[in-house]
Structure 1
Amino acid sequence: MATTYSGPARLILVDGASVSGMASLSTNHRGGLNGWGGTFRPDEVTTELRNAVEEIQLELPYDRVGAVAVTGMRKLLATQVLMSLAGRGPAPF
Protein backbone atom coordinates (compact mmCIF):
# COMPACT_ATOMS: atom_id res chain seq x y z
CA MET A 1 0.00 0.00 0.00
CA ALA A 2 1.10 3.57 -0.66
CA THR A 3 1.76 6.16 2.04
CA THR A 4 -0.03 8.94 0.15
CA TYR A 5 -3.05 9.36 -2.13
CA SER A 6 -4.13 12.38 -4.11
CA GLY A 7 -7.07 12.19 -6.49
CA PRO A 8 -10.82 11.69 -6.84
CA ALA A 9 -12.86 10.49 -3.87
CA ARG A 10 -16.39 10.48 -2.47
CA LEU A 11 -17.64 11.12 1.04
CA ILE A 12 -20.55 8.87 2.00
CA LEU A 13 -22.68 10.64 4.61
CA VAL A 14 -24.73 9.01 7.38
CA ASP A 15 -27.95 9.23 5.32
CA GLY A 16 -26.25 7.46 2.40
CA ALA A 17 -25.82 10.58 0.29
CA SER A 18 -22.48 10.83 -1.51
CA VAL A 19 -20.44 13.91 -2.28
CA SER A 20 -17.73 13.79 -4.96
CA GLY A 21 -14.52 15.74 -4.71
CA MET A 22 -10.73 15.57 -4.51
CA ALA A 23 -8.79 14.10 -1.60
CA SER A 24 -5.19 14.51 -0.52
CA LEU A 25 -4.31 11.88 2.09
CA SER A 26 -1.24 10.50 3.83
CA THR A 27 -0.27 8.09 6.56
CA ASN A 28 1.52 9.34 9.64
CA HIS A 29 3.95 7.16 11.53
CA ARG A 30 5.20 9.62 14.11
CA GLY A 31 5.97 8.77 17.69
CA GLY A 32 4.89 5.16 17.28
CA LEU A 33 1.37 6.17 16.29
CA ASN A 34 -0.03 4.76 13.06
CA GLY A 35 -2.82 6.72 11.49
CA TRP A 36 -3.90 8.54 8.39
CA GLY A 37 -5.71 11.69 7.40
CA GLY A 38 -5.68 14.63 5.05
CA THR A 39 -8.04 16.96 3.25
CA PHE A 40 -11.10 16.72 1.02
CA ARG A 41 -12.36 19.43 -1.34
CA PRO A 42 -15.98 18.69 -2.29
CA ASP A 43 -17.31 19.53 -5.75
CA GLU A 44 -20.39 21.05 -4.12
CA VAL A 45 -21.18 22.13 -0.57
CA THR A 46 -24.50 21.09 0.98
CA THR A 47 -26.02 21.64 4.42
CA GLU A 48 -25.65 17.92 5.12
CA LEU A 49 -21.98 18.11 4.27
CA ARG A 50 -21.46 21.14 6.51
CA ASN A 51 -23.08 19.23 9.40
CA ALA A 52 -21.10 16.02 8.81
CA VAL A 53 -18.74 15.27 11.67
CA GLU A 54 -18.52 11.57 12.42
CA GLU A 55 -19.68 8.22 11.11
CA ILE A 56 -18.86 9.04 7.51
CA GLN A 57 -16.97 7.02 4.94
CA LEU A 58 -14.39 8.09 2.39
CA GLU A 59 -14.52 6.06 -0.81
CA LEU A 60 -11.55 5.96 -3.17
CA PRO A 61 -11.41 4.39 -6.65
CA TYR A 62 -11.53 0.59 -6.87
CA ASP A 63 -14.04 0.36 -4.01
CA ARG A 64 -11.53 1.18 -1.29
CA VAL A 65 -13.31 2.65 1.72
CA GLY A 66 -12.17 4.07 5.05
CA ALA A 67 -13.97 5.57 8.04
CA VAL A 68 -13.23 9.24 8.71
CA ALA A 69 -14.14 12.05 11.07
CA VAL A 70 -14.23 15.70 9.99
CA THR A 71 -11.82 17.63 12.21
CA GLY A 72 -12.15 21.02 10.54
CA MET A 73 -13.57 22.96 7.64
CA ARG A 74 -12.38 26.21 6.13
CA LYS A 75 -13.63 28.35 3.30
CA LEU A 76 -11.41 28.52 0.21
CA LEU A 77 -13.55 30.63 -2.08
CA ALA A 78 -17.12 31.85 -1.99
CA THR A 79 -18.39 28.43 -3.09
CA GLN A 80 -15.60 26.06 -1.98
CA VAL A 81 -14.47 24.58 1.32
CA LEU A 82 -11.54 22.42 2.38
CA MET A 83 -12.32 19.74 4.95
CA SER A 84 -9.71 18.25 7.28
CA LEU A 85 -10.19 14.53 7.85
CA ALA A 86 -8.86 12.08 10.43
CA GLY A 87 -8.96 8.45 9.38
CA ARG A 88 -10.05 5.60 11.60
CA GLY A 89 -8.78 2.09 11.10
CA PRO A 90 -6.63 0.98 8.17
CA ALA A 91 -5.89 3.49 5.41
CA PRO A 92 -7.79 2.73 2.16
CA PHE A 93 -4.80 3.60 -0.03
Structure 2
Amino acid sequence: MTATYSGPARLILVGGACISGMASLSINQRGGVNGWGGTFRPDEVTTDLRNAVEGLQLELPYDRLGTVAVTGMRKLLATQVLVSLAGRGPAPF
Protein backbone atom coordinates (compact mmCIF):
# COMPACT_ATOMS: atom_id res chain seq x y z
CA MET A 1 0.00 0.00 0.00
CA THR A 2 1.16 3.52 -0.82
CA ALA A 3 0.09 6.94 0.39
CA THR A 4 -1.06 8.12 -3.06
CA TYR A 5 -2.62 6.83 -6.28
CA SER A 6 -2.98 8.55 -9.62
CA GLY A 7 -4.36 6.72 -12.64
CA PRO A 8 -7.36 5.03 -14.21
CA ALA A 9 -10.45 4.30 -12.13
CA ARG A 10 -14.15 3.55 -12.46
CA LEU A 11 -16.83 5.17 -10.34
CA ILE A 12 -19.67 2.72 -9.67
CA LEU A 13 -22.95 4.49 -9.00
CA VAL A 14 -25.72 3.24 -6.71
CA GLY A 15 -27.73 1.80 -9.63
CA GLY A 16 -24.69 -0.13 -10.88
CA ALA A 17 -23.74 2.19 -13.75
CA CYS A 18 -19.97 2.55 -14.20
CA ILE A 19 -18.18 5.71 -15.27
CA SER A 20 -14.55 5.48 -16.34
CA GLY A 21 -12.07 8.25 -15.69
CA MET A 22 -8.86 9.26 -13.93
CA ALA A 23 -8.45 9.46 -10.15
CA SER A 24 -5.92 11.28 -8.01
CA LEU A 25 -6.10 10.02 -4.41
CA SER A 26 -4.13 10.33 -1.19
CA ILE A 27 -4.22 9.18 2.42
CA ASN A 28 -4.77 11.95 4.99
CA GLN A 29 -3.26 11.64 8.44
CA ARG A 30 -4.23 14.63 10.54
CA GLY A 31 -4.41 14.72 14.29
CA GLY A 32 -4.43 10.95 14.62
CA VAL A 33 -7.41 10.61 12.26
CA ASN A 34 -6.76 8.53 9.16
CA GLY A 35 -8.81 8.95 6.03
CA TRP A 36 -8.44 9.17 2.30
CA GLY A 37 -9.89 11.05 -0.61
CA GLY A 38 -9.08 13.02 -3.71
CA THR A 39 -10.52 13.80 -7.12
CA PHE A 40 -12.03 11.92 -10.04
CA ARG A 41 -12.19 13.29 -13.61
CA PRO A 42 -14.84 11.29 -15.50
CA ASP A 43 -14.53 10.51 -19.21
CA GLU A 44 -18.20 11.47 -19.59
CA VAL A 45 -20.62 13.49 -17.50
CA THR A 46 -24.10 12.03 -17.00
CA THR A 47 -27.17 13.14 -15.10
CA ASP A 48 -26.69 10.16 -12.75
CA LEU A 49 -23.17 11.35 -11.98
CA ARG A 50 -24.35 14.91 -11.32
CA ASN A 51 -26.92 13.56 -8.83
CA ALA A 52 -24.57 11.07 -7.12
CA VAL A 53 -23.68 11.70 -3.49
CA GLU A 54 -23.43 8.65 -1.20
CA GLY A 55 -23.05 4.87 -1.49
CA LEU A 56 -20.61 4.93 -4.40
CA GLN A 57 -17.70 2.59 -5.08
CA LEU A 58 -14.41 3.56 -6.70
CA GLU A 59 -12.74 0.69 -8.54
CA LEU A 60 -9.01 0.82 -9.16
CA PRO A 61 -7.00 -1.62 -11.31
CA TYR A 62 -6.72 -5.22 -10.09
CA ASP A 63 -10.27 -5.18 -8.66
CA ARG A 64 -9.41 -2.94 -5.71
CA LEU A 65 -12.58 -1.22 -4.42
CA GLY A 66 -13.18 1.62 -2.00
CA THR A 67 -16.39 3.26 -0.78
CA VAL A 68 -16.61 6.98 -1.52
CA ALA A 69 -18.95 9.94 -1.19
CA VAL A 70 -19.05 12.95 -3.50
CA THR A 71 -18.16 16.10 -1.56
CA GLY A 72 -18.11 18.52 -4.48
CA MET A 73 -18.14 18.95 -8.23
CA ARG A 74 -16.73 21.77 -10.31
CA LYS A 75 -16.59 22.46 -14.01
CA LEU A 76 -13.14 22.29 -15.63
CA LEU A 77 -14.03 22.93 -19.25
CA ALA A 78 -17.28 23.13 -21.18
CA THR A 79 -17.58 19.33 -21.20
CA GLN A 80 -15.46 18.23 -18.20
CA VAL A 81 -15.96 18.22 -14.44
CA LEU A 82 -13.73 17.42 -11.48
CA VAL A 83 -15.44 15.42 -8.73
CA SER A 84 -14.13 15.68 -5.15
CA LEU A 85 -14.34 12.40 -3.22
CA ALA A 86 -14.08 11.44 0.46
CA GLY A 87 -13.19 7.81 1.12
CA ARG A 88 -14.93 5.64 3.68
CA GLY A 89 -13.08 2.74 5.31
CA PRO A 90 -9.70 1.43 4.17
CA ALA A 91 -8.02 3.00 1.14
CA PRO A 92 -7.94 0.73 -1.94
CA PHE A 93 -4.39 1.76 -2.89
Counterpart Cα distance in 2 of 1:63 and 1:92? 9
Partner of 1:73: 73
Question: Shift of residue 39 of structure 1?
Answer: 0.1
d(CA) in 2 for partners of 1:53 and 1:9? Answer: 17
The residue number in structure 2 matching 1:47 is: 47
**Which ranges in structure 2 are unaligned for 5 or more consecutive residues?**
none
* Shift, 1:19, TM fit: 0.0
Q: Secondary structure at the match of 1:62?
A: coil
TM-score between the two structures when normalised by the length of structure 1: 0.99
Q: Distance in 2 between matches of 1:12 and 1:84?
A: 15
| Alignment RMSD | 0.3
CA offsets, 1:34-85, max 9 Å, x none?
A: 0000000000000000000000000000000000000000000000000000
Unaligned runs of 5+ in 1: none
1:17 shift after superposition: 0.3
- 2:7 maps to what in 1? 7
Q: Distance in 1 between matches of 2:57 and 2:38?
A: 14
Q: Give the count of matched residue pairs.
A: 93
Measure the CA separation in 2 of the matches of 1:4 and 1:92. 10
Q: Residue in 2 aligned with 1:29?
A: 29
* Large movers: runs of 4+ above 6 Å: none
Percent identity of the aligned residues? 85
Instruction: Give the match for residue 64 of structure 1.
Output: 64
In structure 2, the partner of 1:87 is 87
TM, length-normalised to structure 2: 0.99
